[in-house]
Every structure is written in C-alpha cells, then in structure tokens.
Amino acid sequence: MRTVQATMSDVMCNGEEEEISLDCDYLIVGAGAGGMSFADVILSDSAHTVILVDRNAAPGGHWVHAYQFVRLHQPGSYYGVASEPLTPPDDPNYRNTGAEIVAYYAHVLAKLVGSGRARFYGGCDYRGDGTFRSSDGAGRRRAYRVRVRKRIVDSTYQDITVPATRGPRFPVASAATLRPVNALHGLRRSASPTRGTGPVDAATRFVVLGGGKTGVDAVLHLLSAVGVAPARITWIVSRDPWLTVRFPYVDAAEVLLHGTDMLLHFRGGATVAEFLHRQEAAGMYARLDPDVEPTASRCATVGREELTTLRRLRSRIVRQGRVVAIEPHRVVLERGPPLPFDAAATLFVDCTADGLPQRAPVPIWQSEKTGGGAAAHGTIVLQPVAMCLTAFSAAAIAKAELLCGATGDDRDRETFDMRVVPRPVRVGDEVRALLYAMNN
C-alpha cells in the first residue's frame, strides 16, 4: 500500500498491478464540462484538493468523441470554466469548434494540476465508494482507493452520449450502410462516403436519422459544407422540435430580463401552445416547417440563416415516428408504410443517440453515510440548475457548496432553495424549466 502523488506525467493510469491509496477533499467522477467546472471553482475559491477520474484518457467528456464539424450552438461565453474564458477576448459571440473545446479542456486541466492541488486519472473505470481501476493495455492493473474528506462528486448522472460511443438501438441489415455522424467529416462534392472520407459520388443518397441537435448539424453540414442537393437527402424526424433562435451573448442581468419577457408571453395565455406561438412571433422560437406543429423541445439552437437552410428540406422530412429496423431494401418506421431505398447508393447517418436524456431529478446534496468509508460526507450529484447550461450549473453548485462550509449538514444548503431544472423533451417542458431556472 502506498500513496501516489500524481503529476502531469501521471495523467494516464497505467503500470504494474498494485493497490494504491489516495486522499483528497473532493473526488470528482467525470472530467467533462460539469466535472471540470466544479473542480475549477473549488480550486479557485478555496484551498481544497481534488481528484478527477474519467474513463477517457483526456478531459472534455463527450467532446472527445464528438463529430469533427461540431460547434457550440450557443456563444462560447456561456460555456467552459469560470476562471478561463473559452471565447476570444474580442468576440464573446464566437461558437467554438469541438476540436477547440477539447484543446481548451486539456489547457484547463494542465492549469488545475499545475496548482499542486489537483490530480487527474484518465482511462479509469470508477467502481463506486471512492474506488477505481485502471489498465495499461498489457494486462497490468492498478486498484485505487480514495479517502475523501468532504464529498464525492458525480458528474456522470446526466449520461450524455454521442453516436460515436453508442450504436443504433434498432437492427440494421448487413446490406445497408449506416455510419455515425462523424463519417460526414471530410466529405466533399463529386469515391463513395461508405468507403471513408473523400469526394461524394453524384449518385449517393443520404438518409439522416434523428431530428435533435446532432441531426440539425448533420443536415446543415451536408447542405452547406458538402453542397449536397436537397433532393438527395431524406431526413427522418420522429417528432418536430421547437428550435431556439440564437441571439448575441448577453450578461447575467440581461438573461434574467430575457426570462422575464418569456414569462410575460406566458401570462394571459390559455395554453402552452399559445405561449410557444407568442415566442415564435417574438422571434425567440422557430420550427422546421411553419405548417407543422412541433411536439418536442430539446434546447437545440439555430441562427436565422441556418433556419433558412434547414427549411430547404421541408419536403424531404419523413414524419412517421422512430426507425424500427433498417432491412435490406426498406426502412421500417413506427407509423405508415416502409421507406424504400437503394442499398448500393444510400448512406444512413446515425444521429439517434439521446445526447441529453431527461433523467429523474435526485437531491443534489446527499448525506448518506457509508460507515466511515470514502463517502462519509456523502455525495454531490451534478444536475442542471440553469436551463440547458451544464457548465454554469456545475459552477453554481460548487459555489453553493463552498458558501455552506464544511459542516456536511445539507440543511445549510436549503437556504439556497436550489432546484434541479429538468431538461426539456416534450412541448411544455421548457415552461417548467424556465420557472425553476428563474427561481434559482
């Protein structure tokens, strides 16, 4: 048994098989946007120590596996950690690329570890109760047990997934070619995309599966970056979404005023539908097709020019529910007749991963004891406390944790009346989310 003091050279968990004891104030499980934001506030505003554990070798969470042409839907000023701006100083409205975000979190991690009060263990499998394991790929393993003085912080509860890390949940015939959205990177107009990157054959047809943020990005990329004609794209959308129209970056006070305006639109309305239509009339919300009433709302955001581009596919959207199966020459959907396709000339683009699933809210601060074990002071389960703002929410929870002191008594935190803001999924969810967010 020995205690390891990690340095940047110890970032990857590997080495001979052994059991190692560690200690820290906060053990943070997951080094994505939430975990990194929480760690940043703890280290910036206190003298506490943290250990970050992640199954990925690098920080950044789902961004490590995201498709190469992804960008933030909102200005980067709303993202990242509190102590290190993500956007350029002269452009608060800049929307960072996925590659820039991964590089940003690598930089932030180096800064945190450089403080001497943070350690990062990547490529590790967290087992619960302050224990995790690693492997160097050659069969040599390490088992770690952490003595946690304050809290274990679970930043994985939201379970964010991307198509590259989760295959389709329906059967796909071997004759059909289905790829995650990442496969669209590098395509250009005029060899077949099923063989990898390169020019697109003039006969290739694309079927985009999914109408969420990833589906929106895939369609915009095919139309704008690759230059595919709308007639060669079919978009299967199980439920039309309400889209938030992107506005320039505003500070916190203006965000509050914006939320107040939204509530004023709700006042006097007989139904949620009336509220949403008022939002649409005010230029805050939009839909893929002005003639189709949306039934979903998932925080996807578009600019006005992007909305115009998306509407070029109005006649190419298939609204027959979710995909049930892709058979050799047809797609079986929940409703209506199967959709035929030419297997030799069709690329299915998988955008069906539920990137932001709606999880049942649980208490953020949990004081369950474990008989003096690693979780003697309980856990913190990171969840949204602001509408669709993961990084900001984690930072706010960390700030509340520090302001309440180290009593371990969650009653101190009741003074904040901080509620979990449920992620919108169905039409109407955003009204409840807005009310909870403004309360916080």
Would you call 94 exposed, middle or buried from its count of C-beta atoms within 10 A (0-12, 13-18, 19+)?
A: middle
Give pLDDT, residue 197.
47
Q: Tell me the percentage of the chain whose pLDDT exceeds 70.
A: 80
Mean pLDDT of 122-148: 86
Q: Where residue 8 falls among pLDDT bands split at 50, 70, 90?
A: very low
Q: How far apart are CA 72 and CA 84, in angstroms?
A: 17
| Better-scored residue on pLDDT, 401 or 191 | 401
Q: How high is the pLDDT of residue 432?
A: 79
The CA–CA distances, whole Å, from 347 to 197, 287, 324 equal: 13, 26, 17
pLDDT band at 262 (very low <50, low <70, confident <90, very high): low
Q: What is the pTM of this model?
A: 0.86
Strand segments (E) across 277-386: 285-287, 296-302, 317-318, 323-326, 330-333, 339-340, 346-350, 365-366, 379-381
Query: What is the Cα–Cα distance from 331 to 257, expressed in whole angstroms?
Result: 46
The number of residues making up the chain comes to: 440
Among 91-95, 336-340, 365-369, where is mean pLDDT lowest?
365-369
Out of 122-126, 277-281, 350-354, 375-379, give the one with best mean pLDDT. Answer: 122-126
Q: Dump pLDDT digits (tens) for 268-320.
A: 556 888 888 888 988 889 999 999 999 988 888 999 999 999 999 999 999 99
What mean pLDDT comes out for the span 185-193? 65
- For residue 250, the model assigns a pLDDT of 60
Across 100-107, average pLDDT: 97
The pLDDT score that the predictor gives to residue 29 is: 97
> Average model confidence (pLDDT) for the chain?
84
Q: Is the pLDDT of residue 109 over 70?
A: yes
Q: Which residue has the higher pLDDT, 424 or 8?
A: 424
Q: What is the mean pLDDT of residues 8-16?
A: 45
For the segment 111-132, the average pLDDT, to the nearest whole number, is: 95
pLDDT in tens, 318-338: 999 999 999 999 999 999 999
